[in-house]
Structure 1
């Protein structure tokens, strides 16, 4: 199948793991800003990789994971433990030299968790891959343990199919374990049989002998339930130290179980994927973990499975919940569950209104204390993910169903090929012991931005600059009682934001630091309005000085004609947020954020990028990103503005935004802005929202961009000779 093939140089196949584990590399596929989760990852990736080759990928370390994920992320790991499932046998009746591989795939009588607990292996039936093309029913295979001379016999009782692999062909067969001296009182447990006769089942593409260190290296730090014949390799990168950092920052970590079968390595050889038989794997999830997933869905926490096996479990849970809800059968809920290869697609096609992920899991949680069963779910392009907002996974083999899953998550045709080309060009290490990648679901359900209602533009509206972008920063849930230092630019942008924080129980302190605002009269009016509202709500108000005006102009030098949302705005955010972060660091505030995030005139990604940079300068300070521009929040803002009769400022704040806004108003035939006009207040919420609609914002931005060169020509001479008046410095910044 051409769509899941690529050329991988042998030198890029990792033969040994990185040391320490999280020193492995992490390729972040930078998502478009289509949801708040995407926007957070996008902003962090760009900050952590400033010298990246392009805007599509960021080349990081796995140890950066706690800097890429938002605080409210929900990571899900596979806790299955690899068993020494590979044995080497010879045919008892044959004189042929050497031994061949017998790979134990699954028990034919028990699920793998139960099978590994059996006290006696004698007589047990197992599905195996025997790497020998001439094996027949009735053959007896002899497995010896070199150091002790102990022996185990395997009787071939059924041949299921041919097994074709690049490393050597064989058969998939059922074998019965025949323990010598089975009549003796001493039993040989299944766990002991594998420990004595088995070897760590390193994938054959490593082309090396098992080493002593593989016993630990080929297990994740979460491994606890024996039963896998291949490692859930994405989890191999996690360390205890990184796990503690993630937990400390608020990330939720859940553990599910899926015993990985060797079928995960089996290539797709059929002409079409519909002709490929997907392997079945046993899984189990506690009711408690299901309820944790439900809570995360309700809180819109982004759910990020680590590894394709974890994705398979989560998505299977959704469809089993759908089936359970449809059946409402006590008989079904008392048994283990099973999901066929294409059953999810059939259910989707035959059901008019599928339940939400929350509803499906709530139904499934009623089934018992443990949800367990087998899944054959095959995820291919076109599949709609229900419980996967992102994925951490390794780079997979060519012609594998795992590549199809990655393609399905990326959605865009050719994007998977492009990502793998980048990984090869940048010399990433591939496959089980290789590096990892982070992919965001193209249609993430977490923190999805609400689309503001459309309104007709009002030509009488003012416009202080900037244009709304569709991206938003990540919504994080802070615990009640959390101290937040809120940088405030003005009262109108503060109202709904402060109200929401107070309702959620955060301990809010307002910090007013805006040396950009010109002139001083305007600055004082905006500050006084902000303090009035803070006093009304009994919220502490920190008034930092206005003495940094000279520093602001020094930093703005050379950017006088930078357009709104350009370099000058970035400088302005950086300066104000750095001062906010310093105050937070000095006074014990763990979180900072800004009311600039509520404004439709601002580029949210630009605001959040500056905030994240500022917070990173001071230990113990984090930037709180959240979507403050939802339609509901925006409407509440205008209602509060009208109720409070807040002063209605007509431009962003600095002298250059005043200039640009007046230029725009002149084109529209409007009067020039009246500075600190106390009669200009918010009074009509509906009209105010209309005057600041997305269409009006876009209209202003289109004018300012198209006229920029002409404006530069006309104004350069004027501003080139303008001087600061020292006598009025105490009152105005010019």
Structure 2
């Protein structure tokens, strides 16, 4: 298949530029793959579509403040974007401007040294006082909201571009499918007998990178570090054995679980399972082995996450659902409405 097969017209007015006034008040479009049906509901109705014995899996990564402005000794301004956390790697930044090895940068009273230009537009910095970059950025940087929002980050984004389940700092983009998940909804699900579990996948800037190949199979996915704790492995195995459904809340959870499918389904690891996911799920590619249902947002044209969703729902059903959503004035992308694919 070709990237052009996943193009569609997304009017500017359909992009949700701000979060809803109340978390969890968004709409939900429900697709049933077996029947090929589409139904309109609300995110808060999620508990009515899940059953006792199902397992909801949520990403508990925390978005770090990643966008920081600095100046060189010459007075030139440099924009720094802290890259996502990877296991065992030093802290790196994406930079906009001109840098050379040995340059010194100042920001909010902190001094950084450019130790190495690692790749085109990527540098390794160290803090003159020995502090970690993440600590300095968390104190002074802005929230790295998606570029397609076409606005500067505002104070409300510090709270709303973060899930209520964020525990482990390391992401530079939110796992947006759970932005509307609330403790109240989770409580109703638990009362119904729907269990929940956590994984951690640190979402990277690569999620926004355009696909530059014409053929899907030529695209190389970015790597994202994930960790699946022992209790989550056990819950997934127990759910599968009992005939329940594993419900991934988001494409980030999906990538982690499907990358780890051999260890989850064939291994007896006590855990945790940790790795760098570079899995590319698309129509005609590898089958889904772990997840049985998916909660996710409406995704941008020609994106890898749209292709993942098409692979799970089926391209024809997804096209029809997106047409209905556009006609029904659903709100798209990170702060928008959601889909549930069963």
Q: TM-score w.r.t. structure 2 length?
A: 0.92
Q: How does 1:62-81 map to 2 (within 5 A)?
A: 62-81=43-62
Q: How does 1:189-204 map to 2 (within 5 A)?
A: 189-204=132-147
1:176 aligns with 2:125: yes
Tell me by how many angstroms 1:78 deviates.
0.3
> Which of the numbers 226, 230, 235 marks the counterpart of 1:292?
235
Deviations along 1:527-556, one digit per CA (max 9) or x if unpaired, are: xxxxxxxxxxxxxxxxxxxxxxxxxxxxxx
Residue number in structure 2 paired with 1:423: 325
1:402 aligns with 2:305: yes
> Which of the numbers 101, 111, 114 marks the counterpart of 1:155?
114
Tell me by how many angstroms 1:104 deviates.
1.4
Tell me by how many angstroms 1:273 deviates.
2.4
Tell me by how many angstroms 1:191 deviates.
4.4
> Which of the numbers 165, 178, 184 marks the counterpart of 1:235?
178
Q: Which has the higher contact order (CA 8 A, sep 6+)?
A: 2
Deviations along 1:327-355, one digit per CA (max 9) or x if unpaired, are: xxxxxxxxxxxxxxxxxxxxxxxxxxxxx
2: distance between equivalents of 1:108 and 1:155?
A: 20
1: distance between equivalents of 2:133 and 2:93?
A: 15
Residue number in structure 2 paired with 1:280: 223
CA gap of 1:231–1:215, structure 2 versus 1, over 3 A, is same
- Secondary structure of the residue that 1:237 maps to in structure 2? coil
1:387 aligns with 2:336: no
Tell me by how many angstroms 1:131 deviates.
3.3
2: distance between equivalents of 1:156 and 1:24?
A: 45
Residue number in structure 2 paired with 1:23: 25
Residue number in structure 1 paired with 2:84: 106
- Secondary structure of the residue that 1:213 maps to in structure 2? helix
CA gap of 1:311–1:291, structure 2 versus 1, over 3 A, is same
| Structure with the largest fraction of helix | 1
Count of residues in Structure 1 that have an aligned counterpart in Structure 2: 339
Contact 1:126/1:174, CA 8 A, preserved across alignment: no
2: distance between equivalents of 1:139 and 1:9?
A: 45
CA gap of 1:10–1:89, structure 2 versus 1, over 3 A, is farther
Deviations along 1:306-340, one digit per CA (max 9) or x if unpaired, are: 00000011111113x2xxxxxxxxxxxxxxxxxxx
CA gap of 1:394–1:141, structure 2 versus 1, over 3 A, is farther
Contact 1:13/1:434, CA 8 A, preserved across alignment: yes
Contact 2:72/2:106, CA 8 A, preserved across alignment: no
2: distance between equivalents of 1:139 and 1:207?
A: 33
Deviations along 1:46-71, one digit per CA (max 9) or x if unpaired, are: xxxxxxxxx83212110000111122
2: distance between equivalents of 1:188 and 1:309?
A: 30
Contact 2:60/2:166, CA 8 A, preserved across alignment: yes
Q: How does 1:62-461 map to 2 (within 5 A)?
A: 62-93=43-74, 95-96=75-76, 99-106=77-84, 110=88, 125-132=90-97, 135-138=98-101, 140=103, 142-145=105-108, 150-155=109-114, 157-161=116-120, 171=121, 173-179=122-128, 182=129, 188-319=131-262, 321=263, 358=265, 360=266, 363=267, 365-366=268-269, 368-382=270-284, 383-411=286-314, 413-440=315-342
1: distance between equivalents of 2:115 and 2:324?
A: 46
CA gap of 1:223–1:10, structure 2 versus 1, over 3 A, is same
Gaps of 5+ in 1: 34-54, 112-124, 162-170, 322-356, 441-734
CA gap of 1:189–1:387, structure 2 versus 1, over 3 A, is same
Q: How does 1:425-504 map to 2 (within 5 A)?
A: 425-440=327-342
Contact 1:17/1:434, CA 8 A, preserved across alignment: yes
Tell me by how many angstroms 1:30 deviates.
3.3
2: distance between equivalents of 1:239 and 1:205?
A: 25
Deviations along 1:439-485, one digit per CA (max 9) or x if unpaired, are: 12xxxxxxxxxxxxxxxxxxxxxxxxxxxxxxxxxxxxxxxxxxxxx
Tell me by how many angstroms 1:29 deviates.
1.5
Tell me by how many angstroms 1:26 deviates.
0.5
1: distance between equivalents of 2:107 and 2:78?
A: 12
Contact 2:7/2:301, CA 8 A, preserved across alignment: yes
Residue number in structure 2 paired with 1:644: none
2: distance between equivalents of 1:18 and 1:405?
A: 26
Structure with higher Rg: it is: 1
- Secondary structure of the residue that 2:312 maps to in structure 1? helix
